[in-house]
Structure 1
Amino acid sequence: MPASDSPANTQPMDLDPFVIGLKQRLPEELRESFTDEQLQGLRTAFATRSWARHKLDLRGTFSFWRTQYYYVLVAGRNKRDLTRGQKRLSMAAKAGAITLFLLFSLLLGLVMLYILKSALGINLLPNHSLGLWDWLKGSR
């Protein structure tokens, strides 16, 4: 859908929030020097929202008690650059996920080695057992 066909563009340019804000920031002698076509072009080029299609776009309303509410769930690929804080948080999350994966893998590997040791009858500490092998043998 082209930008000119979106519902936000059906109102007159003088009532458009972007155009009102733009004119407030312009010097007084320039405020009325733009045609509607030029204002539409500026709005398209500089508007803060781009209503692109998203992979997931759920929108709706529902009534609860006497009040109506709306919900919006939008998801898709982020094409914006991350801020420095977001980059740090992303790196910390990746490092945390890798650490958790490695710890889980290590724990799983140790359990598998313990079960193999027990299955082969190797007893490293006499009269001491975690009971894992006995539990596995008894569960069959």
Structure 2
Amino acid sequence: MSEQRTTKQAFQGSLHNDPVIQRLFERVPQKVQDSFTEEQLIHLKVAVGSRGWGEHTVDIRGSFRGWKHRYYYVMLFGRNRRQLSPGQQHIHNLLSAGLLSVLLMGGLLLGFMVLYLLKSALGIDLLPNHSLGLWDWFKS
């Protein structure tokens, strides 16, 4: 019982200024806001406080009316603070390996192109009567 009283005293007075409660009250009419007791606000803060509103670099939310229903959209972007499940970790590892492979192959291709252009600029002809046409493209 004394633990509840201490918690209640800690929140009393500053509870309406609390960011979680303010964010919640943005969506609640003033008449309903005034009807909450301090104890109810404490329980709301505990229940909703772990939600982590506004912690995203990009947080775009909206809604639109369709033929019969209203639809909403959400686009969030920010640092991932969640723990990945084993399946998600496996997919993450596969995607990371794929991205690394694509970047490595792109870098190798770019490196070979630069070497080929350098060879052509120096007039070195490794295969007589054969050209990729890259030097002609580069000169034009």
TM-score normalised by L of structure 1: 0.61
Structure number with the bigger relative contact order (C-alpha 8 A, sep ≥ 6) is: 2
Q: Which runs of 5+ in 1 are unaligned?
A: 13-35
Between Structure 1 and Structure 2, which shows a larger proportion of helix residues? 2
The structure-2 alpha-carbon separation of the partners of 1:85 and 1:115, relative to structure 1 and needing over 3 Å to count, comes to: same
The structure-2 alpha-carbon separation of the partners of 1:97 and 1:2, relative to structure 1 and needing over 3 Å to count, comes to: same
Output one character per residue of 1:100-123: Cα deviation in whole Å (capped at 9) or x when no partner: 111111111111111111111111
Q: 2:43 aligns with which of 40, 43, 47?
A: 40
Residue 93 of structure 2 is matched in structure 1 by 91
The structure-2 alpha-carbon separation of the partners of 1:67 and 1:129, relative to structure 1 and needing over 3 Å to count, comes to: same
Residue 50 of structure 1 is matched in structure 2 by 51
Secondary structure of the 2:128 match is: coil
The structure-2 alpha-carbon separation of the partners of 1:126 and 1:2, relative to structure 1 and needing over 3 Å to count, comes to: closer
Counterpart Cα distance in 2 of 1:74 and 1:135: 43
Cα contact 1:3–1:44 (8 A) shared by 2: no
Residue 110 of structure 1 is matched in structure 2 by 112
The structure-2 alpha-carbon separation of the partners of 1:114 and 1:52, relative to structure 1 and needing over 3 Å to count, comes to: same
Seq. identity, %: 45
Deviation at 1:125, TM superposition (A): 1.1
TM-score normalised by L of structure 2: 0.61
The structure-2 alpha-carbon separation of the partners of 1:116 and 1:74, relative to structure 1 and needing over 3 Å to count, comes to: closer
The structure-2 alpha-carbon separation of the partners of 1:101 and 1:40, relative to structure 1 and needing over 3 Å to count, comes to: same
Residue 133 of structure 1 is matched in structure 2 by 135
Output one character per residue of 1:28-76: Cα deviation in whole Å (capped at 9) or x when no partner: xxxxxxxx77x938x826x7x6142233222222234454332222333
Residue 15 of structure 1 is matched in structure 2 by none
Secondary structure of the 1:130 match is: coil
Aligned pair count? 113
Give the CA RMSD over aligned residues.
3.3
